[in-house]
Amino acid sequence: MRTPADFAGLKISVQPSKIQRDTILAFGGIPTVIEFNALYTSVQAGLMDGGRTSPAGLVDSKLYQVVKYMTLTNRYRVLS
């Protein structure tokens, strides 16, 4: 993702947090609350377009096996 507009229409996993939900909505994405341990299978099945995690979380959860890209920001990391 290169601009906030790249979020438009993407279904992004968030924690049950108003701030996280509002952030994804502000970018035009579709915030969806799911447990982190369900993110791998949700992305793999095409139910989710991505989620938020750290580089270590990407490795620990093996999300690198099902995502194509990782976007690093100062605060928000999004996988898709």
- What's the domain count of the chain? 1
Q: 42 lies in a domain?
A: yes
Q: 71 lies in a domain?
A: no
pLDDT exceeds 70 at position 74: no
Is residue 48 a contact partner of residue 11, using CB atoms and an 8 Å limit? yes
Q: 16 lies in a domain?
A: yes
pLDDT digits (tens, 9 = 90+) for 1-34: 678 788 899 999 998 989 989 988 998 999 999 9
CATH code at 27?
Answer: 3.40.190.10
pLDDT exceeds 80 at position 80: no
Q: 79 lies in a domain?
A: no
Residues 6+ apart with CB under 8 A from 73: none
Q: 12 lies in a domain?
A: yes
Give me 55's structure tokens: 């580089």
**Enclosing domain of residue 53:** 4-66
The residue with greater pLDDT, 51 or 73, is: 51
Q: 26 lies in a domain?
A: yes
pLDDT digits (tens, 9 = 90+) for 43-52: 999 999 988 8
The residue with greater pLDDT, 73 or 31, is: 31
Task: Supply the pLDDT for residue 10.
Answer: 93
